[in-house]
Structure 1
């Protein structure tokens, strides 16, 4: 409720910003784990995608191409 009032007045919603940062970090960690499980040692062209599932839910996805880089 408080975030709704603050959004009306403008300004950053610091709690929601922190939650989004944590969600992005979790999405990247899952991407890394999936890439490693497939034998990759790097991810190319990593990017985020997000979507609003409902007025109360936000989806954040990190994706890219898992590759093996050797020297």
Structure 2
């Protein structure tokens, strides 16, 4: 799961959760996406949730949730 690059972001954070609400991935680097693994193992196909927190250049914070399906 990768984020499209943006120039007008002053802060970025992304978390990926499984269906049980466990965090599988965390990053503050907008250039780092989740590769579908956790603890050196491949995650199962299924629905996951990404929580994305970011701030624009004016300091306004946004929180977005996105469901996506991991397919192999």
User: Structure 1 length as normaliser, TM-score?
Assistant: 0.26
The structure with the largest strand share of the pair is: 2
The structure with the largest helix share of the pair is: 1
Higher relative contact order (CA 8 A, sep 6+): 2
